[in-house]
């Protein structure tokens, strides 16, 4: 039976479900045991599964990543929590030089079935290092899956899939969506497919592409466009790497227009990668240039100034209108 859950509750449910199903799944991180995690994603797990499977670590992100890699080589399936994505930089050495290379380095004798979870992006008025959007940083690393769920049901199903995957996965959870809304989630143990975009809403006039927290604003923009008589198809990328361009290309072939929305800084962002693929493989389908909505090429500002950095519905609509000025509906 489906129960209305917030995204953070869906994460907790997925962890519980997979730990019950598979005794090799362990969770580790800073304050994830007794305190249940900084956002309470792991609350109740220590009582249910004990200290051998719910491990409080020192405040050392490099250690957390290294422990997860070591555990993964010994038959376990570690799910490591990093308190904020801005704290993940110390993990990069371990992830790039070891987690992503184990399969090639051992010629397939070892893999690295580990997940690193982290809140991603701004919107909660946090101080420095707490509001980064790091999806592009990790998506550029060969051998790594990068997943960014946008709602509770997808967070549940995609986390199950990530834990079951035989290779390393970075699982970036939209911080400001943790308790933004609730949605029916059924604890059926059914994983959603990785490496696949989801058509969040069908439309015929323009394709809006996004992921993670920005899906919320993109959906609101699609609602506003519908009131203006514009039918927007909304694509939730969900798995950024490997990128499912087939779904995006099929959508743009239908609509002929595209706006891509990301929270991370503009230069070199994943929106640029999608736009480049559209230019290479979908140019003849386009009636107008592909436009991007993004954060700025600055450090994420502190606290309430985050709202200036993070794209909102109005900024999305502004770019959509530019597209229709170049190629009117008709």
Residue 129's CB: how many other CB atoms inside 10 A? 15
Residue 299's alpha-carbon distances to 10, 302, 325, in angstroms, are 31, 9, 32
Sequential DSSP letters for 43-105: TTHHHHH-TTTEEE--S-HHHHHHHHHHHHTTT-EEEEE-SSGGG-GGGHHHIIIIITTHHHH
> What CATH fold (topology level) applies to the domain 198-326?
Rossmann fold (3.40.50)
Confidence label for 1 from pLDDT (cuts 50, 70 and 90): confident
* Architecture per CATH, 3-185: 3-Layer(aba) Sandwich (3.40)
Segment 138-194, tens digit of pLDDT: 999 999 999 999 999 999 999 999 999 999 999 999 999 999 999 999 999 999 999
Say whether 126 sits in a helix, a strand or coil: coil
In sequence order, the β-bridge partners of residue 25 are 77
Judge whether residue 129 has pLDDT over 90. no
In sequence order, the β-bridge partners of residue 292 are 260
Residue 187's alpha-carbon distances to 2, 5, 19, 193, in angstroms, are 7, 11, 13, 16
pLDDT of residue 65: 98
**How far apart, in whole angstroms, are the C-alpha atoms of residue 134 and residue 141?**
12
pLDDT of residue 269: 97
Judge whether residue 325 has pLDDT over 80. yes
Judge whether residue 204 has pLDDT over 80. yes
Domain ranges of the chain: 3-185, 198-326
Active site (annotated) includes residue 216: no
Mean per-residue pLDDT of the chain: 96
Segment 257-272, tens digit of pLDDT: 999 999 999 999 999 9
pLDDT of residue 128: 81
**How far apart, in whole angstroms, are the C-alpha atoms of residue 99 and residue 72?**
9
- Fold equal for 3-185 and 198-326: yes
| Catalytic annotation, pick one of 98, 129, 130, 216 | 130
Q: The tokens of 11 are what?
A: 């994460």
**How far apart, in whole angstroms, are the C-alpha atoms of residue 66 and residue 155?**
25
**How far apart, in whole angstroms, are the C-alpha atoms of residue 301 and residue 298?**
8
**How much of the chain is in helix, strand and coil states, percent to nearest 5?**
40, 20, 40
pLDDT of residue 302: 83
């Amino acid at each position: 039976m489906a129960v209305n859950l917030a995204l953070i509750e869906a994460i907790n449910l997925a962890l519980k479900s997979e730990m019950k199903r598979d005794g090799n799944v362990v969770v580790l991180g800073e304050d994830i045991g007794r305190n249940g995690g900084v956002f309470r994603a792991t609350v109740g797990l220590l009582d249910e599964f004990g200290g051998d499977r719910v491990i409080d670590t020192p405040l050392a992100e490099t250690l957390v990543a290294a422990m997860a890699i070591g555990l993964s080589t010994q038959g376990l399936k570690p799910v490591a929590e990093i308190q904020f994505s801005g704290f993940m930089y110390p993990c990069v050495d371990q992830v790039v030089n070891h987690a992503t290379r184990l399969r090639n380095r051992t010629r397939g004798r070892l893999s690295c079935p580990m997940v690193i979870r982290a809140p991603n992006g701004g919107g909660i008025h946090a101080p420095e290092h707490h509001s980064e959007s790091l999806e592009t940083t990790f998506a550029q690393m060969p051998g790594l899956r990068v997943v960014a769920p946008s709602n509770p049901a997808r967070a549940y199903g995609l986390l199950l899939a990530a834990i079951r995957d035989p290779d390393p996965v970075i699982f970036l959870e939209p911080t400001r969506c943790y308790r933004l809304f609730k949605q029916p989630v059924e604890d059926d143990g059914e994983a959603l497919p990785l490496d696949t975009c989801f058509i969040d809403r069908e439309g015929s006039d323009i394709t809006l592409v996004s992921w993670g927290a920005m899906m919320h604003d993109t959906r609101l923009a699609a609602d506003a466009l519908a009131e203006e008589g514009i039918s927007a198809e909304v694509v939730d990328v969900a798995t950024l790497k490997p990128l499912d361009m087939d779904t995006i290309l099929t959508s743009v072939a239908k609509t002929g227009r595209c706006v891509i929305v990301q929270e991370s800084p503009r230069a070199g962002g994943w929106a640029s990668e999608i736009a480049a693929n559209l230019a290479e493989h979908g140019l003849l389908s386009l009636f107008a240039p592909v436009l991007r909505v993004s954060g700025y090429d600055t450090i994420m500002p502190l606290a309430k100034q985050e709202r200036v950095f993070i794209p909102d519905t109005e900024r999305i609509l502004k770019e959509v209108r530019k597209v229709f000025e170049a190629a009117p509906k008709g």
